Structure 1
Amino acid sequence: MEWKKYYLDVVLVPLGFLITIGYHVWLWHKVRTQPSSTIIGINTHGRRSWVPAMLKDIEKKNILAVQTLRNMIMGSTLMATTSILLSAGLAAVISSTYSVKKPLNDAIYGAHSEFMVALKYVTLLTIFLFSFFCHTLSIRFFNQVSILICTPQDVMSSSIVVTPQYLTELLEKEPF
């Protein structure tokens, strides 16, 4: 009798992990072997060609470069804010003793024991917090690129020159 309560958890959780891992292995292989057939490869190629194009005529394109990077920062900020708000809301539900928790617990599939419900909530909370940290890290890299893309490129002004390759590497570090 106890087996039926955990049946969905025993089947769906490993199946979900296998599908997710299988998809990411397939995507990794596709990006390595045929990058132009994936959106990741197309975006990488676009970023690699965007940085030298912006640096080529930076006096005319500096506003465009900074505005584009600002828009990317705003997108990452929106996603980071959304994930931290969902984390805060989920934390409030977890710590709640009110009747608001009852309908949410009924919506959870599988086992309903205290430990299993807490484990499901904590797993979801961990995923949201990981998403927040990834988006925050991407904001950091975008800020670095937006500052460095408009630095003077002539050798006479400084001993260290910011190269397009370095800027492209920084732009590709975004964890999306």
Structure 2
Amino acid sequence: MEWKKCYLDVILVPLGLIISLLYHIWLWQNVKAQPLSTIIGTNANGRRLWVSSIMKDNDKKNILAVQTFRNTIMGSTLMATTSILLCSGLAAVISSTYSVKKPLNDAVYGGHGEFMVALKYVTLLLFFLFSFICYSISIRFINQVNFLINCPQDHLGILSIEYICELLEKAFILNTVANRLFYSALTLLLWIFGPVLVFLSSVCLVTVLYNLDFVICHDDKGKKIKDVHHENSENGNGHDDFVMSV
């Protein structure tokens, strides 16, 4: 395989994946340092309050908890099913000799060799497969929380709330990882049409995710919540209330 035929694949595709990876590393650091500035941290804090509220008044809200987790499991199951179906389809394409594995035409940039075409489908298969695994483990944790949250609190003690919150956070973190793997796989799906589209779609995906992942709210004085939280962290006040346990 000549370098002049695949140099765009070697440069643009890894560069797009690295941009996405660096963004998520930076996002995770913000979630840990300033959770209220991100949607992930804000939702995690809200879920902890919700679990505490459900368990303190379990007799009246046990049906609400079951229905909420049922809807969450249904969503994760749908995405897991979609991922495994795509894995099956890609596996069938890889093992076949059908002409779909051939390049569409010579106008497509990037490598057209058999190795490069196989690499595209194998990479897609791995992304969808890991996405399915994360969804499956997430469903397992949610099922555990579904049982534990309805247990009598008198027999579990106050520590059970923190334990259930940790299980729920693991479930949603895995769900988030699975979603991001699925989104990245969709950008890699454009690799069939050339590496240029993969790079452009990765940049667009990071831009869209940035606008969805970060939230800027204002308090009564008009100051940004992010800035207020940062000042409280420097002064040592209020930081421990919002740090997530993962």
C-alpha separation between the residues in 2 aligned to 1:34 and 1:69? 27
Code of the residue aligned with 2:104 in structure 1: it is D
Structure 2 residue aligned with 1:171: 168
Code of the residue aligned with 1:147 in structure 2: it is F
The answer on 1:82 being equivalent to 2:92 is: no
Deviation of 1:98 (Å):
2.3
Structure 1 residue aligned with 2:135: 135
Deviation of 1:24 (Å):
1.5
The answer on 1:122 being equivalent to 2:122 is: yes
Distance 1:3 1:82, change over 3 A: same
Structure 1 residue aligned with 2:183: none
Aligned partners of 2:58 and 2:150 also within 8 Å? yes
Summarize deviations over 1:43-63 as a string: whole Å, max 9, x none.
111111110010111111000
The answer on 1:145 being equivalent to 2:142 is: no
Summarize deviations over 1:49-92 as a string: whole Å, max 9, x none.
11001011111100000100111111110110000001011111
Deviation of 1:109 (Å):
4.8
C-alpha separation between the residues in 2 aligned to 1:149 and 1:68? 12
Q: How many residues align?
A: 170
Select the structure with the greater relative contact order (CA < 8 A; seq sep ≥ 6).
2
Superposed, which structure 2 residues align to 1:48-87 within 5 Å?
A: 48-87=48-87
Code of the residue aligned with 1:164 in structure 2: it is I
Structure 2 residue aligned with 1:106: 104
SS in 1 for 2:145: helix
With the length of structure 1 as denominator, give the TM-score of the two structures: 0.89
C-alpha separation between the residues in 1 aligned to 2:104 and 2:38? 39
Distance 1:109 1:164, change over 3 A: farther
Code of the residue aligned with 2:145 in structure 1: it is V
Structure 2 residue aligned with 1:15: 15
Deviation of 1:13 (Å):
2.2
Code of the residue aligned with 1:50 in structure 2: it is W
C-alpha separation between the residues in 1 aligned to 2:142 and 2:134? 12
Distance 1:111 1:82, change over 3 A: same
Distance 1:8 1:37, change over 3 A: same
Distance 1:109 1:140, change over 3 A: farther
Gaps of 5+ in 1: none
C-alpha separation between the residues in 2 aligned to 1:75 and 1:154? 32
Gaps of 5+ in 2: 177-246
